[in-house]
Amino acid sequence: MFGYSKLKAWTVIVVSVFGLLFSLPNFLPESVYKQVPEGIRKVWHPVTLGLDLSGGSYLLLQVDTGALYKEQLTSLADSVRTALVDRKVRFSGLKVEGEGKEQYVSFKLLNSGDYSKVRETVLRLENGLQVSSSGAAVSVSYTPAALIQMTNAAVEQSIDIVRRRIDELGTKEPSIQQEGEDRIRVQLPGVQEPGEVKALLGKTAKMTFHLVDEETSVYDAQRGKIAPDSMLVPGDDMNEAFYVLKRASVVGGDQFQTANASFQNGTEAVVNFQFKQAGARKFSVATRDNIGKRLAIVLDGKVISAPSIQSHIPGGSGVITGNFTIDSAKELALMLRSGALPAPLSVVEEKVVGPGLGADSIEAGFLSCMIGVVLVFAFVFLVYGKMGTFANIALIFNGLLLLAILGLFNATLTLPGVAGIALTIGMAVDSNILVFERMREELKMGRTAPLNVINAGFENSFTAILDSQLTTLFAAFVLYWLGSGPVKGFGVTLGIGILTTMFTAIMVTKFLMLAWLKIRKPKEITL
């Protein structure tokens, strides 16, 4: 086919048709697009707009790994204590020390000859532990690998729970993803006030049920006179300041089947709950054996209420009372339903873009792209005349192809991304210019046979185009890797733009020129 291999020619045709077809949804009026069957719309859709264009909220949440490790180590300390007592090892001052990743369980052996026995006992407790000693002091900690595993598991679980909590609010199409090691990125299109979401994510909502240790008074406990299997827990605002509770929980917070807010006695807001089967059984046993004793409900390390067990509760359902308003009861019920977070979350970054600003940005971006494209077209035409038209047609395909690929890969178009598209068009001309300049040189050297001039132009400029474009691709990669949100979007646009530019500037332009040669059979070309 006119000195162009069939394969190449068909590639150009197929890719160009693809570009036309898949960029089309971006230009259809919404009313028309809505009539397309949904199955097709799933694949054939316009480019997704970033939050900075569509409006919405973006939250970056940090998983508090320090608290996570602390909790893990606290429970490790309990099992170490039990195991050592079992093996009749005498020790003192067992506690969790350190901060962040440098946390460990430490204790002193009364007989330092016990160390090897202790080491063996402790290592058998769990995988991923390391034990070290200096003199009589022993410290037990998790290996770095175990910490990483712990973090990953916690982040994964947090994402799951964050998603459930946000879904409960009925937010449309939230995007929740891990970012880096211990962060979670939440994007909520259309949400103007992330306050409600933040309130929901601000609590871990870890709820456990503990029997109250009626034998130890708070006064004694505060002075250290406390049994090793009991603990001192602060009360919520309106309750007693402190409670002494049994360490072992009757039922854990992972056992909630459902939870709903309702009113008790017509006025008091409460949370009704139903345990899962396993939880219900434990609850049944505990209530049967401890009638008359108090059962404390602990939420995030604070006792919210401690009612007396009036009777045996066999069915696994119950009522949580506390100082609730109907709203806070609803919030708690929602959190209990969706499960407890493995560690507290904090908002470290937040961006909210109103719909007005987004619309303005789209308008400004669209307008400047249009004006810019027209100017560049005029410029190319001015410099290269008729041959420039081929380059311009290729530029149009470049833009369409870029949009099509962005749409198909579900890439997000952000405001810097719009600049990326404009810049791609502006810089794409470079490849064409390189070709044309080489063609001019051929002409200057006295060669006029059009086919030779065209072929030489493309061949001689190929390495320059390839090398120069690929180096820019590196910059795009780095931007993708470095950036979050808008900047990442810019990197994506820039990178895809480079690929489409190489394709259109080399293949499409040449195709058009050769087709023109074939049809018009000009004797010479002018540039």
Partner 1 sequence: MTKIMNSFLEKTPHIDFIKIRWYGFILALLVFAGSIFSLWTKGLDYGIDFKGGLLIEIQTPAPTQAADVRVKLDSLNLEDLTIQSIGQEGTSFLIYTTGTKQVVQTEMETYNQVKELLGEEVAFRRVEMVGPTIGQELIKKSIMATALAILAICIYIAVRFEWPFALTSMVGLTFVMTVIVGFCSVFGIDFNMTIVAAIMSLAGYSVNDTVVTFDRVRDNLKKYHRMPIDELLNKAINETLSRTLLTSLSTILMLVVLLFFGGETLFGFSLVFLVGIFIGTYASIFIAVQLLRLFDLRKIGSKDDEGPYAAAAVYEKEAKKLPLQPSSCGSCPKNR
Applying the rule CB under 8 A, the residues between 466 and 495 that interact with partner 1 are: 467-479, 481-483, 486-487, 490-491, 494
Nearer to partner 1, 16 or 431 (CB): 431
Q: Is 375 in the site for partner 1 (CB under 8 A)?
A: yes
SS3 content of the chain, % helix, strand, coil (to 5): 55, 20, 25
Member of 129, 251, 380, 505 binding partner 1 (CB under 8 A): 380
Q: How far apart are CA 127 and CA 147, in angstroms?
A: 11
Member of 232, 433, 499, 515 binding partner 1 (CB under 8 A): 433
Nearer to partner 1, 126 or 349 (CB): 349
Least Å from the CB of residue 4 to partner 1: 12
Nearer to partner 1, 319 or 487 (CB): 487
Member of 11, 74, 389, 460 binding partner 1 (CB under 8 A): 460
Nearer to partner 1, 330 or 440 (CB): 440
Nearer to partner 1, 271 or 494 (CB): 494
Q: What's the number of CA atoms in the CB half-sphere (13 Å) around residue 314?
A: 0
Q: Is 379 in the site for partner 1 (CB under 8 A)?
A: yes
Least Å from the CB of residue 392 to partner 1: 11
Applying the rule CB under 8 A, the residues between 220 and 239 that interact with partner 1 are: none
Q: Is 217 in the site for partner 1 (CB under 8 A)?
A: no
Which of these, 257, 264, 248, lies nearest to 298 by C-alpha position? 248
CB atoms within 10 A of CB 463: 10
Q: Which two tokens stand for residue 107?
A: 């204790």
Q: Is 463 in the site for partner 1 (CB under 8 A)?
A: yes
Q: How does DSSP assign 501-521, residue by residue?
A: HHIIIIIIHHHHHHHHHHHH-
Nearer to partner 1, 298 or 422 (CB): 422
Q: How far apart are CA 212 and CA 307, in angstroms?
A: 10
Q: How far apart are CA 96 and CA 104, in angstroms?
A: 6
Q: Is 348 in the site for partner 1 (CB under 8 A)?
A: yes
Least Å from the CB of residue 195 to partner 1: 7
Q: How far apart are CA 500 and CA 84, in angstroms?
A: 67
Distance (Å) of CA 153 to CA 67, 124, 166: 14, 22, 20
Least Å from the CB of residue 387 to partner 1: 10
Q: How far apart are CA 76 and CA 142, in angstroms?
A: 10
Distance (Å) of CA 331 to CA 168, 337, 342, 343: 10, 10, 18, 18
Q: How far apart are CA 158 and CA 160, in angstroms?
A: 5
Q: Is 94 in the site for partner 1 (CB under 8 A)?
A: no
The contact mask relative to partner 1 for 278-307 (x = CB under 8 A, - = no) is ------------------------------
Applying the rule CB under 8 A, the residues between 390 and 429 that interact with partner 1 are: 415-416, 418-420, 422-423, 425-427, 429
| Residues 105 and 73: beta-carbon distance below 8 Å | yes
3-state secondary structure of 256: strand
Q: How far apart are CA 439 and CA 434, in angstroms?
A: 9
Report the chain's terminal Cα–Cα distance, integer Å.
Answer: 25
Q: Which stretch binds partner 1 (CB under 8 A): 22-30, 125-133, 167-175, 441-449?
A: 441-449
Q: Is 376 in the site for partner 1 (CB under 8 A)?
A: yes
Member of 100, 195, 228, 314 binding partner 1 (CB under 8 A): 195
Applying the rule CB under 8 A, the residues between 246 and 275 that interact with partner 1 are: none
Least Å from the CB of residue 419 to partner 1: 5
